[in-house]
A and B are shown apart, each in its own frame.
Chain A
Amino acid sequence: MTTFTNIPKQIEEELSRRNFLRSAGMLVVSLSPLVTLPQTASAQTPAASPRAAGPYPDPNYKQLDSWIVIHDDNTATFYVGKTDCGQGTGTSFRQMMSDELDIAYNKTSLIMGSTDVTVDQGGSGGSDAIQTDGWPMRRVAAEARRVLLELASQRLGTPVDQLAVSDAVITVKADPSKKVTYGELVGGKRFNVALTGNNVDATTGVAKVKTVQELKFVGQSLPRYDIPPKVDGSLKWAVDVKASGMVHARNVKPPVAGAKLISIDESSVRGLPAFVKVVSKGNYVAVVCEREEQAINASRQLKVNWEKPATAPFPASEDLFKYMRSAKPTSVGRPVEVGNADAALAGAAKVIEAEYDVPFQGHTAISPAHAMADPSNGQMTIYSNDMKSYGMRNGVAQFLGIPREQVRVVWMEGPQGYGRTAADDAGFEAAFLAKELGRPVRVQWMRQEETAWDTKGPAFTFKMRGGLDAQGNLVAYDYDSQACDYNHVGYNEADTVLIAQLMGIRKATPNAGGGDRPSDMYAIPNRRMATQVVSLPLIWETPLRTGNLRDPNGPQVTFAAESFIDELAAAAKADPVEFRLRLLNASTADDAQFKRARSIACVKAAAAAYGWDTRPSPKPVGSGNILTGRGIAYSFRSQTVVAEIAEVEVNRKTGHVWVKRLVCAHDCGLVINPQSLRGTVECGMLHSVSRTLHEEVTFDTEKVTSTDWTSHPTLTHMDAPAKIDVVLVNGDPNPNRPDLPHYGAGETTCKPTLAAIANAIYDATGVRLRRVPFRDARVLAALKAAGV
């Protein structure tokens, strides 16, 4: 086996595994020339294949066989209930499990996220793949190693403590010629070992995991196994799945939010080539044709009569923040309070106030939503890139009113998810249409449909007040935020997914949505942080439906919080790094010293890597067209801390901002794969650079108007920084601890970037930008208004 596991190998292993696990008859796999066999199944041979026949009971997480299979050739396949959003978590899982099992990394492979063959670990989300789900993976692999040693002990007639194991070969310490391989012990057979644990996260055997010092593959920059098939074109993605008799569907969305379907003139498309059917229910409309381009044409030509709503569904985007500030909250969070902020503000030597705004921002994935659903054999199989495939299975079963054992979701790679595919509309639509037609149906959204109607990160407004004493110490801090987030869509909920909404289904109690607070570790004696959620007039069937977008609220909140800290530092005439360190070093009675120590380590590491020159911001405005500056911001997410420094060039003639250099000091505890982590960190920062400079959902009072890559610009190659430095600060104060934990890394870096850039622009120009995105025109207007 090679280092790079490709999908065909996985199919082979998967099929052979299921064959012996089910002890069923011979498994026949047929591959017809124009049928792409998906990663884990042959939907074309339901009669012959026990896998495709269904039903699909849940793999039992309390059985070792559900997690690990040892093959005759002394290789292993791991089965985990996770999906990957592009960060290469699969490689890291293999590193962790290979270490615990004591087998060479390149003798292992990994299957992820398909509901009928992997235990339900929830798919992806919350940056918890390594932090949370890595633990049961390590423990079950350690248990498999323990069981194999027991078996070897019996086989070799030698006590376990007199055996050694290396690379899947167990030898007698006293006589290394006596040995047995894992494959010889259990290859092609079941372990039949029960595990314990009240939930999948707690799954464990009796074996202990290794200490950090015993791990060999963990900590190495092994190349991601998924990359070669992604660059040679051999990987089969969810968009690539085909099946015999499959038809193509395209949706026809209401032209304005809240429109009601009055009538459909099917004769407008009936004569088109290979037309199959118009399917509609409530306000959901789809056109189905034999070929993809025909479905696209038909969806454009279908005549539908819609009735506009009587009242405007939302204010226009230019009026959004005014609307939000005057809206009555749908919920008010209980403020987090330390000391008495109001009293301290009243007694402060200097009070600073500022308001910040962040608009709705979309996922706008590079590929619109897509899925293929196959109703063969009375079951429903959905081929999907849904990051929460298990949730989709449950949601679709509920939506269609069929037992969940009849539904399986085969997870395959797709465009970056970051929350979009946790509310995966296309999978539900494909399943609904497949049930209606009794044929496999592939659904793909179009670009304008996706950009207009995907889920949105909530818009936020913030009002901040801070009080400095006569020495420039921050003694009072008041944070008040409003999130436009009412009826935030859930994860693959049968009553909030868009097709359900369009069909008239309403969740009895809309999701409340969430406010959010800064996550810094500053010790401020008097602090209040208040949150409110507000609602737009229209909450159902709206393109402005909010959902989780990569660290759902962190970029917005940290933009305000870390911009404001910079404003306070400037008011105190203090260096931005020193001001932060002073707040992190201030005496306090709270119990956050561990997090605070790691914060200090990261801020210092970032400043050192950048070569930070200690001085207050702004610096004197230069005389040329290009003004340069640097800014810092830092944040926590769960147990992971980052400090980022942005260096910018601001063109005073055009208002154009180039983030020329980025530095990130990153502490997520034990690093599994440094190279993979660096890629994640770089791209997480750049995702937020795009959100800082370019991205905004615009809308008039009836529809979204940012619908393609012209009206909804994104970061491009022109924006790439000249230099990115990533400093991995494994900042546990005691790195030799045997249980140094591994924390999450998928989202934290997205948080501070916006403020770091805003602070750098301020340093360069003396102009404070308090509303993202910093598009050229907005920056230029601000520079002109300030006389820069």
Chain B
Amino acid sequence: MSKITLKVNGGTHTLDIDPSTPLLYILRNDLGLQGPRFGCGLGQCGACTVLINGVATRSCITATSAVKSEVTTLEGLAKNGVLHPLQQAWIDEQVPQCGFCQNGQIMTAKALLDKTPNPTDAQIREGMARTLCRCMTYYRIQAAIRRAANVKAGVKAANGPAMVTEVVA
């Protein structure tokens, strides 16, 4: 056990913990930040993703002692009660099914858009490729990322993802 100081979502926390503990368990069980979630513990699915110094990082395989910069979790994205454009786009596109993986989807998309504000479809696919969704909401996630990128760029919001035709016969 040793004392570790963590900066998370603008706050500073000093904890007496085993420094090798993966960050995920500290966030969830000690700091009550449960946006990041356990999906695999192997760094394969992305459900545990947080931003560390702006980089999408898998907290399930990141030792807490290795965290040297401020951590941002899903709970830290909204500013002054206003949702981040990505979160708003997720609502506008009605992205989630169960929603369990969406923390990782949103946080990974945040890192993607911060680096590449106007990604091509191929860049979105590649940037998100390792973040898994077992409800298969990929199509709507990609539409939401395009919408958020357009909103940030001041482009009028795109239409919904699907060219939906309602035939009421």
Q: Do A and B bind each other?
A: yes
Residue of B21, B33, B137, B161 touching A293 (CB-CB under 8 A): B21
Query: Among the listed A223, A236, A366, which residue makes an inter-chain contact with B133, where contact means beta carbons less than 8 Å apart?
Result: A366
In whole angstroms, how far apart are the Cα atoms of A735 and B87 in the complex? Answer: 38
List residues of chain A with CB within 8 A of the CB of B101.
366, 415
Is A775 an interface residue, CB under 8 A from the partner?
no
Complex CA–CA separation, A446 to B47 (angstroms): 14
CB distance from A663 to the nearest CB of B (A): 10
Contact B98 A415 (CB under 8 A): yes
Q: How far is the CB of B20 from chain A (nearest CB, A)?
A: 9
Q: How far is the CA of A234 from the CA of B74 in the complex (A)?
A: 9
> Is the beta-carbon distance between B142 and A720 smaller than 8 angstroms?
yes
Q: Are A717 and B125 in contact (CB under 8 A)?
A: yes
How far is it, in angstroms, between the C-alpha of A292 and the C-alpha of B18 when the chains are bound?
Answer: 12
User: Could you give, for residues 52-74 of chain A, a 1 whenever the CB lies within 8 Å of some chain B CB and a 0 otherwise?
Assistant: 00000000000000000000000
The smallest C-beta distance from A696 to any residue of chain B, in angstroms, reads 16
A239–B162 touching, CB < 8 Å: no
A682 engages B162 (CB within 8 Å): yes
Expressed in whole angstroms, the Cα–Cα distance for A520 and B42 within the complex equals 43
Contact of A86 among B75, B98, B169 (CB under 8 A): B98
Q: Is A34 in the interface zone, CB < 8 Å from B?
A: yes
Which residues from A are CB-within-8-Å of B121?
722
Give Cα A232 to B47, complex, Å.
14
Given A230-B96, A232-B87, A366-B45; A678-B139 close (CB under 8 Å):
no
Residues of B within 8 A of A714 (CB): 132, 134
Please determine whether B73 and A233 come into contact, CB atoms closer than 8 angstroms.
Answer: yes
Q: What B residues does A710 contact at CB under 8 A?
A: 44
B157: interface (CB < 8 Å) = no
Q: Which of A320-328, A685-693, A763-771 contacts B (4 or more CB under 8 A)?
A: A685-693
Q: Output the least CB separation between A242 and chain B (Å).
A: 8
Once the chains bind, are A727 and B134 in contact (CB under 8 Å)? no
- Write out the residue numbers on chain A whose beta carbons fall within 8 Å of the beta carbon of B137: 679, 683
Q: Is B94 within 8 A of A224, CB to CB?
A: yes
* A616 vs chain B, min Cβ distance (A): 27
Residues of chain A lying within 8 A (CB to CB) of residue B77: 232-233
Closest to A717 in B: B128
Given the complex, which residues of A lie within 8 Å of B99, measured CB to CB? 86, 226-227, 230-231, 235, 413
Name which residue of chain B comes closest to A689, CB basis.
Answer: B136
A447, B42: Cβ atoms closer than 8 Å? yes
Alpha-carbon gap, A169 to B154, bound state (A):
43
A293–B25 CB distance below 8 A: yes
Q: A446-B41, A609-B165 are in contact. Are A366 and B100 (CB under 8 A)?
A: yes
State A117–B162 Cα separation when bound (angstroms): 39
Min CB distance, B64 to chain A, in Å? 10
B141 CB, nearest partner CB in chain A, Å: 7
Closest A residue to B121 by beta carbon equals A722
For A715, list chain B residues within 8 Å (CB).
Answer: 136, 138
Give, as a whole number of angstroms, the nearest-CB distance from B56 to chain A.
Answer: 14
B1: nearest chain-A partner, CB-CB: A273
B74 and A366 within 8 A (CB): no
Q: B40–A718 contact, CB under 8 A?
A: no
Task: Scan A698-737; emit 1 where CB is below 8 A from any B CB, else 0.
Answer: 0000000000111000111111111111111111000100
Within 8 A of A (CB), among B107-145: 121, 124-126, 128-142
- Please give, as numbers and ranges, the residues of chain B lying within 8 Å of A492 by CB-CB distance: none
* Closest chain A residue, CB of each to CB of B29: A292
| Complex: A675 Cα to B160 Cα, angstroms | 10
B135-A717 in contact (CB<8A): no
State whether the Cβ of B34 lies closer than 8 Å to any Cβ in chain A.
yes
Is there an interface contact between A717 and B91, defined as CB atoms closer than 8 Å? no
A273 CA to B1 CA, complexed, in Å = 10
When A293-B22, A415-B100, A725-B164 are in contact, do A683 and B136 touch as well, CB less than 8 Å?
Answer: yes
B103 lies within 8 A of chain A by Cβ: yes
Contacts of A292 in B (CB 8 A): 25, 28-29
The answer to whether A727 and B166 touch across the interface, beta carbons within 8 angstroms, is: yes
Q: In the complex, which residues of chain A have a beta carbon less than 8 angstroms from the beta carbon of B163?
A: 723, 725
Task: Give a binary string over B79-96; 1 marks a CB under 8 Å from any A CB, 0 the rest.
Answer: 000010001001100111
Whether the Cβ atoms of B32 and A34 lie closer than 8 Å is yes
B149 contacts the other chain (Cβ, under 8 Å)? Answer: no
Query: What are the interface flags for A664-694 relative to B under an 8 Å C-beta threshold, 1 for contact and 0 otherwise?
Result: 0100000000111011101100110110000
Whether, in the assembled complex, B167 has its beta carbon less than 8 Å from a beta carbon of chain A, the answer is yes
Flag whether A414 is at the interface (Cβ < 8 A): yes
Asked whether A237 is an interface residue with its Cβ less than 8 Å from the other chain, the reply is: yes
Q: Given A233-B74, A415-B134, A720-B142 in contact, is the A291-B169 Cβ separation under 8 Å?
A: no
Q: Is the CB of A686 within 8 A of B100?
A: no
- A726 touches which one: B32, B100, B164 (CB < 8 A)? B164
Residues of B within 8 A of A725 (CB): 162-165
User: Cβ of A240 < 8 Å from any Cβ of B?
Assistant: yes
18 residue pairs of the A-B complex, CB under 8 angstroms, read: A223-B91, A224-B96, A228-B91, A231-B83, A232-B75, A233-B34, A233-B73, A292-B28, A293-B18, A366-B132, A413-B99, A416-B135, A665-B167, A678-B162, A680-B97, A683-B97, A686-B136, A718-B125
Interface residues, chain A, CB within 8 Å of chain B? 33-34, 36, 85-88, 223-224, 226-228, 230-237, 239-240, 242, 273, 291-293, 296, 364-368, 413-416, 444, 446-447, 601, 605, 609, 665, 674-676, 678-680, 682-683, 686-687, 689-690, 708-710, 714-731, 735
Residues of B within 8 A of A (CB): 18, 21-22, 25, 28-30, 32-35, 37-42, 44-45, 47, 73-75, 77-78, 83, 87, 90-91, 94-103, 106, 121, 124-126, 128-142, 161-169
Given contacts A240-B34, A293-B21, 15 further A-B contacts (CB under 8 A): A88-B97, A231-B87, A231-B106, A239-B38, A364-B134, A365-B134, A444-B38, A601-B169, A678-B164, A683-B136, A710-B44, A714-B134, A716-B129, A721-B139, A730-B169
Which 9 pairs from chain A and chain B are nearest by CB? Answer: A86-B98, A686-B136, A233-B35, A230-B99, A86-B97, A233-B74, A720-B138, A447-B40, A709-B44
